[in-house]
Amino acid sequence: MRTVNPTTNEELRTYDLDSAAAVEGTLDRAADGFVAWRETPITDRQERVAAIADVLRENLEEYAALMTREMGKPLDQSRGELEKCAWVCEFYAEHAAEFLQDDHVGVHPEATTKVAYEPLGPLVAVMPWNYPFWQVLRVAAPTLAAGNVMLLKHAPNVTGCAKTIEAVLDDAGFPDGVFQTLVVEPETIHDVIADDRVAAVTLTGSTRAGSAVAETAGKHLKPSVLELGGSDPFVVLDDAPIDRAVDVGVDARTKNNGQACIAAKRFIVVDDVYDEFRDAFVDAMADLTVGDPTDPATDVGPMARDDLLDELDQQVKETVDAGADVVLGGEPLDRDGNFYPPTVLENVPGDAPAACDELFGPVASLFRVPDEAAAVALANDTEYGLGASVWTSDDARAERVAGELEAGAVFANDLVQSHPRLPFGGVKRSGYGRELGEQGIKAFTNEKTVWLSPPDGLD
């Protein structure tokens, strides 16, 4: 595995792939580790999860710099990601026992009937590069607190982050075999998922990758959770707070260099306020500084890999060839590194990539619609359904429209985001299952019905 600094395209480090024997040893340690870890009192497991937060904060600057070197996000955003990781660990350290306590259900006055939540076993987590610490720890915190163990297959370009996360959990006192990293090619992970020692799988990534992993998991009858791509609509109605919508919209499209599954991608604006929103939005996008992500003045850093830059450039070119207009940006910057500028497209045809596909970079597509009904229809006219936002000054209208939007999460007058206390996931081709919240910790448990009748039976 080779990691490259996307700001300079200079090689950072190479890592040896795990041999077949090494993978076999990792699976054995996971199986053995699970036997002991599931019997560890949950209070002890919670203490270890809480200790992750301590290690992260003690080494925050070191880990943030690593993240920025490997995938290019602005350094301050790397710090913010680590703080959020510490938060999710503290959340499950506080609430895991509460979430996993038995649910007692009254069925018969002489019987004890309950639902118990028991761990399944080793979990394979296939994780992406765009939030290299958060994506892993938002799964690891609840999974490990619940008594499962975890095998991480991270994206190759953030292998350094993967190795560091493993070291973090070691420093936090987790026993051998509870959290391990696999450095393997993508095709190898299917053999790992199929292995009898593996109980379940979770993936965050592209729809194509999710479909392949789901096929393998389904063939072997193993539960899976998939958090896949998105083409989130950002719906601006005629009574929207335009100034705030513009500010949040720019952030929603360019945060993490535009490389987020829940980034706002399709800006659907009703005709009455389209020109006002468009002009302010374009000006705000043009004011962003593109540059070295270690520079505090930088708003947008490089794309994480050169192939991702090429793919985004091709999607924009195809959209323009189909008839769209470039209002701002529209081509890679002529400098070292994988830099693509904040870009705004309008008059996007309905069959163009910017309307149909996920553009994973700082490219916003504007759509003018006549009214609310047309806005909702266009927002739902996609194969994706991860997040959505609606902008209006009317609370009742916001709640009604939120109910009409087809997505796993809808935010009114705010940025679509994941939150430790709330379930997170998508519908349609954005995946299935939920992470975070109470739902996230129960996702990989056996919801076991327990019925205890007295020795002499029930009357």
Any residues with CB less than 8 A from the CB of 317 and at least 6 apart, and which?
none
Handedness of CA 223, 229, 230, 231 (dihedral sign): negative
Contact 358, 364 (CB under 8 A): no
Verify whether residue 161 is a known catalytic residue.
no
Any residues with CB less than 8 A from the CB of 310 and at least 6 apart, and which?
none
Residues in the chain: 459
Q: How many CB atoms lie within 10 A of CB 432?
A: 17
CA-to-CA distance for 436 and 138, rounded, in angstroms?
7
Of residues 119, 124, 113, the one with CA closest to residue 100: 119
| Active-site option among 85, 89, 161, 261 | 261
- Kindly state the DSSP code that residue 287 receives in the 8-state scheme: T
Of residues 401, 329, 400, 335, the one with CA closest to residue 359: 329
Residue type at 191 in one-letter notation: D
**Burial class, 79, CB count within 10 angstroms (exposed 0-12 / middle 13-18 / buried 19+):** middle
Helix (H) or strand (E) holding 307: helix 306-321
Contact 281, 249 (CB under 8 A): yes
Verify whether residue 356 is a known catalytic residue.
no
| Active-site option among 227, 372, 406, 435 | 227
Catalytic residue IDs: 227, 261
